[in-house]
């Protein structure tokens, strides 16, 4: 979540509270602007196209691996947005110059959008940047029943970089398009249970591989390509006959190697070496994600505590120490020392849990007098209401009954 997407009111509160800025840096240390000086060993990624609830987990995931840095998100699919709105977002969020694109981007993830929202200039920029070495992932770039304008891509210059032709048909997932069958083994597809999980529930057209394309996996039932790649100039393009949003929810939640699947593909597209030990790097990535999640919770708790005037100095010191430890873990991770990274992250996660417990105790202490005042207010109100009710309903003899006056008898 880059800083430019934080609302002004929230950002103003963060600036006024230094401890929240420490947490913000801890959370978003990898999310700087695309035109900033790149970090050593870190590849910058932009996401263009479909940004919806069922694929947002992949956008959030990109910030959990220190070797990658999400520097831009461009929502521009006409399946969700109106055409004019999609064009406007593309114009606002995409780089204004070709030099900015190639100097600030190492990989692009295109997810199911129409080329009509981009100008011919942008399409040519993308083609040239791939030819010059930028990696490209074409996710769910296949013909569909939905109005996604996939048939327009064949008339663009970027279509030359596609590893496969988009065949004009549309096949449901249950017609043999649910499971991968690996035909070329390697780090892109060699994951536990890769051929056993349902990778797609959507309907898409077939891919017809171009010359020089490598087919990594085919659909086990239909026997057509499901995942392919090809070199284009100095760049590498990966092409999927399904969407990441059409991966079933139970697989997103339950298949523990899904982040490794995504990051290994990004490594391939950007030329980074694959990790030697899948289990060890998986543990490190999981620990980074867990630390980020605990930091998000800490932001909410500490801002709540501050509103009641609790002392925050101990937390500020510990959070500063936590940031330093995370930076050490990131450095070890980027250098490939996964053992050191996991040791640092394991200790940091344990200390963060202890810090969260301390914050909760501080919160309870700050709220003690509020609870006491609330209890006294409720008790006093109950006593007053009870006294009034007892006086009116029980002690009625204190009041004389209404009788007929002498004047009324005449």
Domain boundary among 271, 296, 322: 271
Instruction: State pLDDT tens for residues 80-100.
Output: 888 899 999 999 999 889 998
Do residue 241 and residue 280 come from a single domain? Answer: no
Do residue 289 and residue 406 come from a single domain? Answer: yes
Residue 196 domain-assigned (yes or no): yes
Residues 40 and 57: beta-carbon distance below 8 Å: no
Highest mean pLDDT range out of 140-154, 187-201, 347-361? 187-201
Residue 31 domain-assigned (yes or no): no
In the 8-state DSSP scheme, what is residue 158? G
Residues 47 and 61: beta-carbon distance below 8 Å: no
Residue 164 has pLDDT above 60, yes or no: yes
Do residue 182 and residue 285 come from a single domain? Answer: no
Do residue 210 and residue 328 come from a single domain? Answer: no
Q: Residue holding tokens 């040791």?
A: 343
Nearest to 42 by CA among 74, 18, 65: 65
More confident residue, 294 or 247: 247
Do residue 242 and residue 281 come from a single domain? Answer: no
Residues 30 and 306: beta-carbon distance below 8 Å: no
Highest mean pLDDT range out of 55-59, 315-319, 362-366? 55-59
Q: What is the pTM of this model?
A: 0.76
Residue 217 has pLDDT above 90, yes or no: yes
Residue 55 domain-assigned (yes or no): yes
What whole-number distance in Å separates Cα of residue 83 and Cα of residue 76? 8
Interval 169-179 mean pLDDT: 91
Nearest to 226 by CA among 258, 183, 264, 263: 183
Residue 239 has pLDDT above 90, yes or no: yes
Domain boundary among 250, 271, 292: 271
Instruction: State pLDDT tens for residues 366-404.
Output: 777 777 888 888 999 988 898 887 777 766 656 666 666
Phi-psi region of 170 (alpha: psi -120 to 50; beta: other; left: phi over 0): beta
Domain that residue 279 falls in: 275-410
Length of the chain equals 410
Lowest pLDDT segment from 56-65, 335-344, 362-371: 362-371
Share of the chain above pLDDT 90, in %: 36
- Residue 73 CB neighbours (<10 A): 21
Domain count within the chain: 2
Look at residue 339 in the predicted model and tell me its pLDDT. 87
What whole-number distance in Å separates Cα of residue 232 and Cα of residue 168? 24
Residue 184 has pLDDT above 50, yes or no: yes
Answer positive or negative: Cα dihedral of 177, 183, 187, 191.
positive
How does strand 235-240 pair with strand 225-232?
antiparallel
Do residue 216 and residue 348 come from a single domain? Answer: no
Q: Is 22 helix (H, G, I), strand (E, B) or coil?
A: helix
Interval 230-254 mean pLDDT: 93
pLDDT-derived band at 410, boundaries 50, 70, 90: low
Highest mean pLDDT range out of 48-52, 197-201, 308-312, 326-330? 197-201
Residue 396 domain-assigned (yes or no): yes
Do residue 259 and residue 294 come from a single domain? Answer: no
First to last CA, the chain: 89
C-alpha angle 403-404-408 in degrees, rounded to nearest 5: 160
What whole-number distance in Å separates Cα of residue 87 and Cα of residue 72? 16
């Amino acid at each position: 979540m880059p800083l430019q997407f934080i609302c002004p009111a929230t950002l103003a509160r963060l600036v006024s509270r230094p401890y929240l800025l420490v947490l913000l840096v801890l959370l978003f240390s990898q999310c700087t602007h695309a035109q900033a000086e790149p970090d050593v060993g870190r590849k910058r990624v932009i996401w263009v196209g479909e940004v919806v609830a069922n694929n947002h987990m992949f956008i959030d995931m990109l910030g959990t691996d220190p070797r990658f840095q999400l520097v831009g998100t461009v929502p521009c699919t006409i399946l969700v947005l109106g055409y004019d709105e999609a064009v406007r977002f593309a114009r606002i969020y995409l780089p204004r110059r070709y030099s900015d694109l190639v100097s600030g981007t190492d990989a692009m993830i295109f997810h199911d959008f129409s080329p009509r929202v981009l100008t011919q200039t942008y399409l040519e920029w993308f083609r040239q940047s791939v030819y010059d070495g930028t990696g490209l992932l074409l996710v769910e770039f296949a013909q569909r029943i939905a109005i996604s304008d996939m048939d327009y891509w064949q008339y663009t210059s970027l279509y030359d970089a596609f590893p496969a032709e988009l065949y004009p048909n549309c096949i449901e997932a249950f017609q043999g398009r649910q499971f991968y069958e690996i035909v070329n083994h390697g780090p892109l597809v060699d994951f536990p249970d890769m051929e056993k999980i349902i990778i797609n529930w959507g309907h898409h057209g077939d891919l017809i591989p171009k010359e020089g394309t490598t087919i990594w996996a085919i659909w086990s039932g239909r026997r057509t390509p499901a995942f392919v790649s090809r070199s284009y100039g100095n760049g590498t393009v990966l092409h999927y006959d399904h969407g990441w949003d059409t991966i079933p929810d139970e697989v997103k939640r339950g298949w523990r190697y899904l982040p490794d699947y995504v990051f290994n593909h990004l490594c391939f597209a950007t030329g980074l070496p694959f990790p030697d030990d899948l289990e060890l790097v998986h543990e490190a990535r999981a620990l980074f994600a867990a630390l980020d999640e605990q930091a998000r919770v800490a932001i909410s708790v500490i801002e709540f505590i501050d509103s009641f005037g609790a002392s925050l100095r101990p937390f500020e010191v510990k959070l500063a120490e936590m940031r330093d430890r995370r930076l050490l873990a990131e450095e070890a991770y980027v250098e490939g020392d996964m053992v050191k990274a996991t040791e640092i992250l394991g200790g940091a996660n344990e200390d963060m849990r202890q810090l969260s417990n301390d914050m909760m105790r501080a919160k309870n202490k700050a709220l003690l007098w509020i609870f006491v005042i609330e209890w006294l207010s409720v008790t006093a109100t109950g006593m007053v209401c009870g006294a009034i009710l007892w006086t009116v309903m029980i002690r009625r003899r204190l009041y004389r009954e209404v009788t007929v006056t002498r004047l009324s008898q005449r």
